[in-house]
Structure 1
Amino acid sequence: MTETQPDDTGRRLLLVHAHPDDETIGTGATMARYVAEGAQVTLVTCTLGEEGEVLVPALAQLAADHADQLGGWRIAELNAAMAELGVTDRRFLGGAGRFRDSGMMGTPANSRERAFWRADTDRTVFAAALGELVAVIREVRPQVVVTYDDFGGYGHPDHIMAHRVATAAVRAAGDAAYSPFADETPARLSDSVPWRVSKLYWTAMPRSVMAEQLVAVRSAAGEVPFAAETVDDLPFVVADELVTTRLDCSDFGDAKARAMAAHATQITLDGPFFALSDNLGRRVATTEYFRLRVGELGELDQNGHETDLFAGLGLDGRAAAE
């Protein structure tokens, strides 16, 4: 098999997220923007989010320690959210329910059967997840892939594993010697032509931006709004100088807010900020930030940031079918 290079004008973006709702919180405006610009946007969600808390009292029985039906409910929430963002190509890694939400770090859910975090120690599980994602990359042929940093944004085991699997898959997808399904049918292997991803990004929240938001919400609420006294107590912020890319998605704030509202069991919208089930919050942001980890930076603005994930790739933004 020979390596296939990005050589057409159709922009293709693939995002790898851990649970339903993560995609909207961190990259919802970005997804809506690129859909509107004609790019192909593909979402891969690694688990159903079965271990999430339930913020809707009437649905409390869905939780993992009751009927354990939250994952199925969250499929419907994800579908509704993606309809608001215009994303039509959405997939669960290996199919819905192949890998289970691992819960927060250090909880019994980490070792449950099918827990995604088991890929940390079970190489068979990791290999299965890697193979499934490589197959998607080779099918979709994205020039750009987005996932979390090596801390998973805030240390959630499924976020960390999504990072590890996505990073390994970006490398393996372009390796002609790698066969994701070596033990399976030749028909499936025949569709697995190597593909080199041009750019890999990590999502990011600049320290200065979060510090400003923390002050604003404390002033508006009259009290500390997060489980943190200062921005340094928040695990998901990064130093400003690490951020390479700033996307202005101001035209898509309403779409992002509607998509967030669709994740009703996990997100409560109340004023300019939203509350997560883990008591952390962020503004319903229309500016989203990233760190380039693989590939070359494109043109920078006056502040030293890229303003387009596809910057430098020579693509004109037309959809592949045009």
Structure 2
Amino acid sequence: MQFAGPRTLLAIHAHPGDESTSTGGLLAHYARQGARTVVVTCTNGEFDDAPNGATPGEVGHHPKAVAAHRRAELYAACDALGITDLELLGYHDSGLTGEVPEGGFCTIPVEVAAGRLAALIEYFQPQVVVTHYSTHRDHMHANRVAMSAIERTGIPAKLYLTAKDGSTTIDISEVADVKRKALQCHASQQVHGAFALQEHYFRAVDITGAPLPETDVFAGITTSGPDLPRW
């Protein structure tokens, strides 16, 4: 199917750090190829651990300071991954368990958050969107918001969900060093150790008819505009 260019991949994540742990290889892979890569981060990450190790509710954990630190890590990681555009929705982290704070992302009506995301989709015109599939309440809400925004705009040709095994496998061996550097930018998350050299995704929406399984999220898509300069 023919689309206006350049190739554009938009990733929708709940928290700072998710872009690197969940889709770091995918984003780096296509950024290196010259595709436009856009990251939308829905929350500020206030309920992450503080740099001093303090957890939410403990002495030394200051949510606003944590959010500022996580935002700085996010910018650094996106720079490492070669991200073209970073958009912050600025919602409050809902936390993993317990009472959701006032304004927590998962309490925001889907149509409200989806309206903001739809505006970004209309602006960037991504052919491909990727988002979460997990039981974390902010991840689940990001999924609902993404689905609503895609249905509202009708712009993306494909939607992928993160998966342990799925319809689409991306070889990230050539950008493993880039993903590792991005993970290291999130020092407060203490992400250590090896990771698989493949990332798996489930294709949830497709209007191209590209056959499965696939090894390219842009399979079935051609663009009229040029890609960005490779890095």
Q: Give the TM-score normalised by structure 2.
A: 0.90
SS at match of 2:95: coil
- Alignment partner, residue 157 of structure 1: 137
Runs of 4+ with deviation above 6 angstroms: none
Which AA in structure 2 matches 1:197?
P
1:20-169 mapped onto 2 (5 Å cutoff): 20-54=16-50, 56=51, 59-60=52-53, 63=56, 65=58, 66-68=61-63, 69-93=65-89, 97=90, 99-105=91-97, 107-108=98-99, 110=100, 112-119=101-108, 125-149=109-133, 153=134, 155-169=135-149
The CA deviation string for residues 41-70 of structure 1, in whole angstroms up to 9 with x for no partner, is: 00000001111124x4xx246856532221
- Alignment partner, residue 200 of structure 2: 289
Q: Which has the higher strand share?
A: 2
Which structure's CA Rg is the greater one?
A: 1
CA 1:48–1:64 in structure 2 vs 1: closer, same or farther (change >3 Å)?
Answer: farther
Higher relative contact order (CA closer than 8 Å, sequence separation 6+)? 2
- Alignment partner, residue 236 of structure 1: none
| Aligned residue pairs, count | 226
- Alignment partner, residue 152 of structure 2: 172
Question: Is the Cα–Cα contact under 8 Å of residues 110 and 148 in structure 2 kept in the other structure?
Answer: no
- Name the CA distance, whole Å, in 2 between partners of 1:257 and 1:52: 20
Matched, 1:266 2:189: yes
- Name the CA distance, whole Å, in 1 between partners of 2:204 and 2:151: 12
CA 1:297–1:287 in structure 2 vs 1: closer, same or farther (change >3 Å)?
Answer: farther
- Name the CA distance, whole Å, in 2 between partners of 1:134 and 1:9: 19
- Name the CA distance, whole Å, in 2 between partners of 1:64 and 1:135: 35
Which AA in structure 1 matches 2:118?
V
- Name the CA distance, whole Å, in 2 between partners of 1:134 and 1:53: 31
CA 1:16–1:64 in structure 2 vs 1: closer, same or farther (change >3 Å)?
Answer: farther
CA 1:89–1:67 in structure 2 vs 1: closer, same or farther (change >3 Å)?
Answer: same
- What are the ranges of 5 or more consecutive residues in structure 1 without an aligned counterpart? 120-124, 175-195, 207-242, 273-283
The CA deviation string for residues 100-139 of structure 1, in whole angstroms up to 9 with x for no partner, is: 100013x12x1x11100113xxxxx332211100000000
Deviation at 1:299, TM superposition (A): 4.4
- What are the ranges of 5 or more consecutive residues in structure 2 without an aligned counterpart? none
- Name the CA distance, whole Å, in 1 between partners of 2:31 and 2:39: 12
Question: Is the Cα–Cα contact under 8 Å of residues 148 and 160 in structure 1 kept in the other structure?
Answer: yes
- Alignment partner, residue 201 of structure 1: 160
